[in-house]
Homo-oligomer: A and B are copies of this chain.
Amino acid sequence: MADEAPFQFLHSELIQYIYKSADTEDTENGRNISKLENLGCRVGQGLIERLTKDAPRFKDELDIMKFICKDFWTCLFKKQIDNLRTNHQGIYVLQDSQFRLLSHLSAGKQYLDYAPKYLAFTCGLVRGALSNLGLRSVVTAEISDMPACKFQVLIQKM
């Protein structure tokens, strides 16, 4: 039985709720995206605290990113990130070839315009998790072919 279903349905309803309660569509879109991103950030912070409670100390930045790709992603989406790449200078690209929060939209390019609002929350999740592990970051997402998508993480040097 789909274990992540309650989370997925709640995520969809949250998006609808936030978009519905906004006054006008065009001007509010940016603000809605940032509301979703912030909500995701706080969920990510809570979640990573729970997940790392008994984890050993991380060796370095790459070690943290691997934890995000494996344990953190599995807890949320019951699968790991399929591909992690880095330039070893603070940029990481996490590729999920079957991203769960997009899987209810049809594959292909048809609904590409609607996709950003389904990714904002997850960008926040990653940013929140990293921030609680001591890394300040900017996280953006990019879709080329649904339901595959890429998250780009840019670690900010402090």
Contact = CB atoms under 8 A, between A and B. Distances in A.
Interface of A: 1-7, 9-14, 16-17, 21, 35, 39, 42-43, 46-47, 50-51, 71, 74-76
A75 B5 contact: yes
Given A5-B51, A10-B39, A16-B42, 14 more contacts: A1-B51, A2-B50, A3-B3, A3-B75, A5-B47, A5-B75, A6-B43, A6-B76, A9-B43, A9-B46, A10-B43, A12-B46, A13-B46, A17-B39
Nearest to A35: B17
A15 to B, nearest CB: 11
Contact of A47 (B6, B11, B35): B6
A1 B75 CA distance: 8
A6 to B, nearest CB: 5
Nearest to A44: B9
Most B Cβ at <10 Å: residue of A7, A14, A17, A42 = A7
A71 B35 CA distance: 33
A144 to B, nearest CB: 26
B13 A43 contact: yes
Given A1-B51, A14-B14, A51-B1, A6 B39 contact: no
A16 to B, nearest CB: 8
